[in-house]
């Protein structure tokens, strides 16, 4: 029952067929998938159908731009490729207590096949790429997308080309190459990689998931909102805190909430949107602070490499969203990011990568600033796993190395003995 109808320019509203294009050839604005209105739906029946769907993002296929639901269906099986989504939403009372907040939930999207939310967007982009007849995948990546595209290529048996900045964390490089992709490390920033891929996409008949397939890819992030609503008992949260790199995830989470509120599938209102950036790469936060509508590009210098996009494609829309919902876009320093990773780990048992440290640190900042009401239900979007940026943990705790004897243990940890 897929209802995607056209690609539509976000700027001038011109419409184009649902093929592998991403830019309006009249005004250069971004193209976005538009859908036929579903009209009045039987909410209870629709909810039952979703709940009876597979334990992955294809339970929301009605809201995704694919003609046929990929692969075989079955409640507990992946339809095809890697089963992305249906990640835990964890109530984080100890984190809330530490920050003096009422109710905080952590959407732990590290619990995806390649340990970041990128499996969602890749699943949708690859499904559409296959419908359009592509046999080769490609992407420009800050690391997480590299993992997801390489793994999707392996799962489907498709060739893939993954382009990354050469200075990426070793963990992300290793966890990409292992899938047998053609890995290209570009001497330059992510923005250089992105420019190169934009040029390459015109020269090669490949499905660059975040270039020529970007309108489909971006839709995958809406599933983070659908899941949150479903997991909260068909209600929207009051506020969300989410990271901003290109701004695509941030704005598509909002779109997911809006779609379901409009249909009556979700109760509540569009949440307040707080965006999180690293101070070492904060073009969106800077533009928000200065009251500008467009972002001036920056040269990234931060430990949060997965958010290190100096020239964010959806920056203007992210600013608009934060303003229109009464939210903000804040930036935190590398030390605050490290503290954020630590805070989330020691209060929730969830070890996140530096991007999650950014998000958690911004939540802490908002709490400290008094921006969050005591009765608010807040959802924190944790988009990647701590094992991807493990160097952050190094040197942050003490290791008690001892001989294997009781005496040695008692000497090393006298307080444990007293207790």
Partner 1 sequence: MAVTVKIPTQLRAAAGGVTDAEVEGSTVGEALDSLYEQFSDLRDRISGDGGLRRFVNVYVAGEDIRFLDGLDTSVSDGDEITILPAVAGG
Element (DSSP H or E) covering residue 33: strand 31-35
Question: What's the gap between Cα 257 and its chain centre?
Answer: 15
* 99 versus 121: smaller Cβ distance to partner 1: 121
* 30 versus 271: smaller Cβ distance to partner 1: 30
Q: Which residues bind partner 1 (CB under 8 A)?
A: 11, 21-30, 140, 190-192, 194-195, 197-199, 201-202, 208, 210-211, 214, 245-249, 294, 296-297, 299, 309, 311-314, 316
Q: Are 13 and 30 in contact (CB under 8 A)?
A: no
Residue 11 C-beta: closest distance to partner 1, Å: 7
Element (DSSP H or E) covering residue 47: helix 43-51
Residue 333 C-beta: closest distance to partner 1, Å: 23
* 50 versus 184: smaller Cβ distance to partner 1: 184
If phi > 0 it is left, if psi is from -120 to 50 it is alpha, else beta; for residue 406 that is alpha
Write the DSSP symbol of residue 270: P
* 221 versus 348: smaller Cβ distance to partner 1: 221
248-263 and 315-324 helices, crossing angle to 10°: 50
The count of other CB atoms within 10 Å of the CB of residue 413 is 13
Question: Which is nearest to 260 in space by CA: 69, 33, 62?
Answer: 62
Describe the strand order of the beta sheet including 136-140 as a list of residue ranges. Answer: 182-186, 159-165, 136-140, 207-208
């Amino acid at each position: 029952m897929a209802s995607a109808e056209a690609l539509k320019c976000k700027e001038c509203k011109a419409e184009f067929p649902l093929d592998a294009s991403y830019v309006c050839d009249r005004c250069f604005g971004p193209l976005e998938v538009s859908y036929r209105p579903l009209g009045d739906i039987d909410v209870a029946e629709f909810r039952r159908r979703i709940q009876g769907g597979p334990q992955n993002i294809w339970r929301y296929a009605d809201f995704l731009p694919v003609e046929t639901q990929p692969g075989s269906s079955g409640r507990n099986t992946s339809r095809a490729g890697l089963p992305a989504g249906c990640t835990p939403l964890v109530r984080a009372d100890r984190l809330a207590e530490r920050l003096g907040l009422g109710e905080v939930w952590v959407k732990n999207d590290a619990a995806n096949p390649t340990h970041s939310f990128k499996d969602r967007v890749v699943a949708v982009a690859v499904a559409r790429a296959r419908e359009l007849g592509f046999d080769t995948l490609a992407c420009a990546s800050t690391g997480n997308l590299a993992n997801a595209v390489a793994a999707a290529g392996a799962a489907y048996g498709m060739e893939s080309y993954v382009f990354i900045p050469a200075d990426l964390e070793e963990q992300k490089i290793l966890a990409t190459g292992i899938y047998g992709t053609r890995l290209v490390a570009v001497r330059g920033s992510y923005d250089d990689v992105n420019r190169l891929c934009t040029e390459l996409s015109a020269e090669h008949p490949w499905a660059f998931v975040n270039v020529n397939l970007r309108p489909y890819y971006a839709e995958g992030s809406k599933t983070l909102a659908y899941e949150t609503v479903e997991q909260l008992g068909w209600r929207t949260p009051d506020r969300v805190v989410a990271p901003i790199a290109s701004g695509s995830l941030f704005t598509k989470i909002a779109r997911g909430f809006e779609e379901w509120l409009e249909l009556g599938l979700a109760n509540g209102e569009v949440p307040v949107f707080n965006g999180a950036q690293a101070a070492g790469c904060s073009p969106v936060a800077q533009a928000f602070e200065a009251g500008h509508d467009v972002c001036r590009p920056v040269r990234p210098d931060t430990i949060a490499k997965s958010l290190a996009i100096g020239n964010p494609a959806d920056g203007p829309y992210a600013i608009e969203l934060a303003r229109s919902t009464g939210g903000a876009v804040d930036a935190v320093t590398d030390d605050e990011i490290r503290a954020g990773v630590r805070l989330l780990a020691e209060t929730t048992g969830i070890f996140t990568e530096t991007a999650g440290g950014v998000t958690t640190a911004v939540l802490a900042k908002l709490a400290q600033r008094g921006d969050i009401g005591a009765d608010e239900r807040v959802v924190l979007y944790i988009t990647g796993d701590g094992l991807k940026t493990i160097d952050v943990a190094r040197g942050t705790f003490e290791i008690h190395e001892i001989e294997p004897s009781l005496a040695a243990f008692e000497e090393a940890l006298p307080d444990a003995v007293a207790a």
